[in-house]
Each structure stands twice: as structure tokens, then as C-alpha cells.
Amino acid sequence: MTLSPLSAAILATLLMYLLTALGAALVFPLRRFHPSVMNLLMALGAGIMLAASYFSLLAPALTSAHSLRQSPLLMCSGGFLLGGLLVLLADALLLTSGDTAYLIDTGTEDSWADLSRALEALGVTHLTGVIVTHMDKDHYGGAKQLAESDIAIDGWYASWAWEKEKWKKHPVVKAAAIRGEEITLLQPGDTLSDGLLTVIGPIQEREESENDNSLVLVASGGGGKMLLTGDMEYDEENDLLAAGVIPSCEVLKVGHHGRDDATSAALVAAVQPKVAVISTSSVILPESPAKRVLRVLSSAGAQIVQTQQAEIGVRVTLSGGNVTVEFLNN
């Protein structure tokens, strides 16, 4: 019997899951490992990972390359590089007004070099505050490197809805401790820098999705407003819409990288944005931005800006109620 590449990949992946689970189960009967047993298990684990890489990635790629008459080397190396590039999809937003500067989220640990380069290009040597919207690593992963950098930081902030049992050991708390600082937990109604930033969400803590515990902020200045949503999805959107706290804003930072589980038509109707900024890469995440999200934003007359259109980042400026967009490249 001959299996298709897809069927072979699925069966191989399930087999690897089973073997990995069996290996992990040895932790329970064997609390202390003899060195020779440990070496044997490490060798077994390495063998399983090599087999998984071949059967679930290389074998289907080689078969597909032959059927599509493409270079096997190109297709195989491309598949592995895609996994490495995924960690580079990060979320970090620099909000400035005069001498005030807030970094909202810090990207991933692996993207710190890119974020550091962007901050240097923008001449940032001092931050009024670092705000972490929620507990996804692509939003806080660069916190440690930021704390160890030469950039001065006045304060560290996070959402009141973070999981309390993990709080003391959280990497962001440890990052702030490097500077001798503690985290200030923000709640709806709190303001920073004389109203430059106002917290409107989350209104309630949700266990189902950490994204729906995202800090949602309204930035006011330049004769207009920006709505900064973190990774807010439908449930938190509905909470804020029901509470009537979402104002019309000239700029919308689109939630959850423009995926289909966020940015409802009702939210866009409430915000009425002139410009919608999406932090994404369709090469890394083909489903982002979602066609529905693009359609809803376009129907509302918003100019859609994607960070993948720039090499360093996108600068959005509010002045006199007017919005200008600049793409920062090397």
C-alpha cells in the first residue's frame, strides 16, 4: 500500500507524539536516573526527533519536490527556515509625545536585535514606561534584554488580569527586578502621563484565552486618539463594546495580528479608524491578516498599513487630527 505524502506525514507525526509521550512517562516510575540510563534516554530522544524531522518534514518535501518538479534542496531548506522565522514575528509599539515615550510590548527574545536596532534608529535612550499587554511571549520576550540595555526606564506596567500564581516568577517581573523596579498593575480607568494613555480593558479576567486579558489602551494627543489593542479577541471586544468605553479613534492598532478571531465589524464601526495598523507577516503566518478583517477595514474606509511593508517598522503620526504614515527602512 502506498501512502500519499500528507497521510505519511500525519501518521509519522502521530507515531512521534506517542513515542515522546511514552518517554516522558518514564519520569513517574524513575525519580532518579542513573547516568547510563540518562544517556540512553537522551540518545533515544535524539533519534525520535531526527525520525520526526525526516518523516514529517523531509520525506513529504522530497516527494512534493519530485511531483512539482522543484529543487529538493530548496523545498527542504525552505521548510526548516520557516520554523526558524516564526519566532521573529513579534509585537512592539513605541508611543511618543514630546519627551514622553512608552514601549508597549517588547517583542520576542529572538527579535530583540531588530527591536534594539529600531530604537537606536529612532534615537530612543529613555523610556517613560514599558507596558506589557499580556503574557504571550511574542509580546514580552525581549523584556530581559531591554532591562539589560543602556536605555533608561522610569516604570514597568502590566495588566491586572495576569495569572497571580505565576506572577512572582514571571520573566517580566525578573526583568524589572534587574533595574530594581516592581511592576505596576493597571486597571480600567487608570491613566498615565496626564491622560496621554487611558486604560479601558480588560474589564474581566478570562481563563479561556490569555489574549482576552490584554491591556487595551487609548492614546490621546495630536488632536486625535489611537486605540491600542494588544491581542484582544472577540470576547474582550464584546466586553468593551457592551460597556460603551470604546471611543472613535483616528488610528486602530488591529488586534491579534489581524487574525480572524479579532476585529469584528462592530468594533470597527465603533472606532471608525482613518488608519488601521496590522503587526504581521503573511509569509510567516499565511492566515494573517485574514481576508475578512481586511474587508471590514476597507469597507469602513480605513487605510490599511502592515508592518511587513517596512524593513524596520511603521511610524504613524497624529497632528492636528491628521494621520501620516511613514515606512522605516534600512
* pLDDT given at position 92: 82
* pLDDT given at position 284: 64
DSSP state letter for 203: S
Q: What is the DSSP string of 73-103?
A: HHHHHHHHHHHHHHTT----EEEEETTEEEE
Distance CA 145, CA 149 (A): 6
Q: 175-179 — which CB contacts under 8 Å span 24+ positions?
A: 175/143, 175/144, 175/146, 175/147, 176/143, 176/147, 178/144, 178/147, 178/148, 179/147, 179/153
Residue 137: HSE in the Cβ half-sphere, 13 Å Cα cutoff: 8
Q: Which three cell numbers stand for residue 324?
A: 501620516
Q: Which helix (H) or strand (E) element contains residue 22?
A: helix 5-25
β-sheet bridge partners, residue 95: 102
One-letter identity of residue 200: I
Taking residue 151's Cβ as centre, other Cβ atoms within 10 Å add up to 17
* pLDDT given at position 141: 79
Burial of 273 (0-12, 13-18, 19+ CB in 10 A): buried
Predicted TM-score of the model (pTM):
0.69
Low-confidence spans in the chain with pLDDT less than 70: 1-9, 11-13, 15-17, 19-90, 163-169, 281-286, 311-312, 328, 330
